[in-house]
Structure 1
Amino acid sequence: MEDKDLVVCAGLLYLQHRRRHRHRRRMWVHKQHGEFHRLVRELRLDEERFQRYFRLDREQFDSLLSKTGPLLSMQSTNYRRPISPAERLPICLRFLATGDSYRTVAYSYRVGVSTVASVVRQVTRVIWDALVGEFMPTPTTEDWRSIAEGFQRRWAFPNCLGSIDGKHVVIRAPDNSGALFYNYKGTYSVVLLAVVDAEYCFCVVDVGAYGRTSDGGVLANSTFGQKLQDGTLGLPQDGLLPGAEHLGPQPYVFVADEAFPLRCNLLRPFPGRQSGSHRVFNYRLSHARLIVENTFGIHTSQWRMYRGVIGISPLNVDACVKATCVLHNFLQRTTTTNTSTCRPTSCRQ
């Protein structure tokens, strides 16, 4: 055998030896047991503490895991065994429920900061994709009509398709963004524009507008606002008002505050101090409009990331906001004791 062949054989034998004795990392987490192994398993024995920790009860958590788990599974490699969906979901929910920094969550679960960032980035998008079709589908004409019936039945406001408002979600000032995200409150934010039904559920959300943009501007630039302007939302045909049938068919409308423009399908209060019928109208409209403010109050008390400055990139903030909105609907529709008895003035922020 020539010297060249001997060198090749020796090299192959060396590589084979290295492969056999190579150290194999078993997990993408530290070996110490974090909150998942220590606390979360204990919480399953106490329904109340479990709900306070995750903002979901055990049945809701298991249901959410069954819906998102297949999309969260990652393939094991020769080097690492990935974090399971059963642990990825708690990491994300804990971030949304507390607003703690990535570093704090990473320390609690004994994983790296970059791992928490990756988990939150992935899981929030999976939550939206897994739930939106069932818990926040694009409303059809029949859906709009059903929403109007709810407003008439619960809040005595006929032909109402939803309550509209915007909410500033405070973020850390992005690098090189100038004043784009700087709002009138003196903070940096992205805007959540929401349409809410009579049951305190989100019908439509639009997230990501710059904080400097007014509510009217956010509406005009949103997909929902453009479809409202173009008449392509699939709204019901004009209907009669109860007790005022002699006026003939009237358009179905959304209700909003003074920050929004007056349109055929968008009502706002009469400006200034009013008396007589105008004052009554403003009172009735305010009564219906408060539903969206109450919903924001319920939403932010549930997901406390909204209580402080969210120190992640705007794109990831958008994903977190969308995830909490669809989770809000998921909870509203799967919780037996919800806000069905909440009056418009009792939940206001």
Structure 2
Amino acid sequence: MSKPTFHLLVSLVGHSIKKQNTKFRECIGPEERLLKTLRYLATGCTFTAIALHFQRGERTIGVIVEETTKAVWDVLKDKYMAMPKLEGWKIIADRFYELWQLPNCLGAIDGKHIRIKKFPNSGSANYNYKNYPSVILLGCSDADGFFTSVECSFAGRSSDGGVFRISEFQHWLERTSDIPSSKELPHDEGGIKFPYYYVADAAFPIKKNIMRPYPERNLDNKKRIFNYQLSRARKTIECAFGMMTQKFQIFMTPIRCRKYSTIISVVHCATVWHNYIRKKDGILYTTHDTSGTNTQPSNVHSDIAATENSKKF
């Protein structure tokens, strides 16, 4: 995050986290509160380490992180993670076709396990198949790796498909009227209209607006090519999770918070901060130039090898 981007963040969130001074002591300012919270998310340090660095109390750091992450989510979510309207969905679909050659795609969906420290008396509710306690972050991204929707309140023992069935996103998808109506696919001369949809992996159910790959068994060339094209678009949500994890090293270690609600606030804050930083300081994806005028060396040998390999099946 650059310095101008940080100062803009202070101007946006500062009024929500500013405290009133008293005649006995001066409160901690919004800049320091944001710095402490950013350091906690970016490094994954414990509250004790941050308290020693800033010469504050450990309990004070915990309260600041809890209040600031919630305030950041409440202030920024409507601007930097707002659900698109009708025209916005069309722009996202056009961008998916431009970058990944997948028409009528509105986004990619996937779940991510967020490692946490086990809470006392929680049993095996958060113990996942990877053998550590976690909460599940269900996210949806556009073609450029921006989160368009996130939910994080699910126990780690649940599967991605089970989380999707009980999520608010599933209920919204069944009842919304903001999604554009069906449209003809590019280069389709049959005149058949195809609905707009989200792409997901094999753990999710197939529905009218959810597209998942063919099972790995009994694949012919057409199904294999379809799975490849689907994976090109589906990797955007994986890249979004990866970029967020690299920005905020707290996801490399178990999140240690006294309250379950604080963990949810931390995760939500990281996702909306990812959108904010990527929009202000990030570099968007660019299309691959196939016109022959690109000065970059083209990967011709890999294309020929892929063609030869496809002939073997």
Fold conserved (TM > 0.5)?
yes
Residue identity matched to 1:239: K
| Alignment equivalent of 1:234, drawn from 157, 175, 178 | 178
**What is the one-letter code of the residue matched to 1:192?**
L
Partner of 1:8: none
Distance 2:165 2:187 in 1: 34
Check if 1:279 corresponds to 2:224.
Answer: yes
Residue 330, structure 1, aligned to residue 276, structure 2: yes
**Residue of structure 2 equivalent to 1:31:** none
Q: Which runs of 5+ in 1 are unaligned?
A: 1-55, 344-349
Q: Is 2:233 the partner of 1:254?
A: no
Cα distance between partner residues in 2 of 1:114 and 1:301: 27
**How many angstroms does 1:318 deviate by?**
0.7
Q: Which amino acid aligns with 2:193?
A: P
Q: Which amino acid aligns with 1:248?
A: I
User: 1:155 maps to what in 2?
Assistant: 100
Contact 2:98 2:287 in 1 (8 A): no
1:76 maps to what in 2?
21
TM-score by length of 1: 0.80
Deviation at 1:233, TM superposition (A): 5.6
| Structure 2 residue 59 is the aligned partner of structure 1 residue 106 | no
Counterpart of 1:69, as a letter, is G
Give the corresponding residue for 2:301. none
Q: 1:326 to 1:245 in 2, by over 3 A?
A: farther
**One-letter code of the match for 1:154?**
L
| CA drift at 1:231 | 3.0
Aligned length: 286
Contact map agreement 2:97 2:104 (CA 8 A) in 1: yes
1:321 to 252, 261, 267: 267
Match of 1:35 in 2: none
- Is 1:264 the equivalent of 2:218? no
Partner of 1:114, secondary structure, is helix
Check whether the contact 1:136–1:329 (CA below 8 A) recurs between aligned residues: yes
Q: How far off is 1:130 after superposition?
A: 1.6
Quick one: which amino acid aligns to residue 81 of structure 2? M
* 2-structure distance, mates of 1:68, 1:233: 32
- Cα pair distance change 1:211/1:270, threshold 3 Å: same
Specify the alignment match of 2:158 in structure 1: 213
Alpha-carbon distance in structure 1 between the residues aligned to 2:183 and 2:119? 47
Structure 2 distance, partners of 1:223, 1:342, is 33
Work out which structure has the larger RCO, using CA pairs closer than 8 Å and 6 or more positions apart in sequence: 2
Query: In structure 1, what is the Cα distance between the partners aligned to 2:204 and 2:37?
Result: 35
Superposition misfits of 4+ residues, deviation over 3 angstroms: none
* Alpha-carbon shift at residue 314 of structure 1 (Å): 2.2
One-letter code of the match for 2:163? V
Matching residue of 2:295: none
Structure 2: state its 5+ residue gaps: 289-313
Larger radius of gyration between Structure 1 and Structure 2: 1
Asked if 1:57 is matched to 2:2, the reply is: yes
- Aligned counterparts of 2:115 and 2:287: Cα–Cα separation in 1: 27
| 1:183-198 equivalences in 2 (<5 Å) | 183-198=128-143
Change (3 A) 1:278 1:153: same
Measure the CA separation in 2 of the matches of 1:177 and 1:247: 55
Deviation at 1:80, TM superposition (A): 2.0
| SS at structure 1 position matched to 2:206 | coil
Q: CA RMSD in A?
A: 1.4
C-alpha contact 2:110 2:139 (8 A) present in aligned 1 = yes
Alignment of 1:286-301 (within 5 A): 286-301=231-246
Contact (CA 8 Å) 1:168, 1:189: kept in 2 or not? Answer: yes
Q: Which amino acid in structure 2 is aligned with residue 268 of structure 1?
A: R
Aligned partners of 2:243, 2:287: CA distance in 1, in Å? 10
State the 1:247 CA deviation.
4.6
Could you tell me whether the CA contact under 8 Å between 1:227 and 1:233 is conserved in 2?
no
- Percentage of matched positions with identical amino acids: 37
Please state how far the C-alpha of 1:262 moved relative to its aligned partner: 0.7
Paired residues of 1:95 and 1:105 also in contact (CA < 8 A): yes
Matches of 1:342 and 1:130 in 2, distance apart?
33
Question: C-alpha distance in 1, partners of 2:238/2:244?
Answer: 10
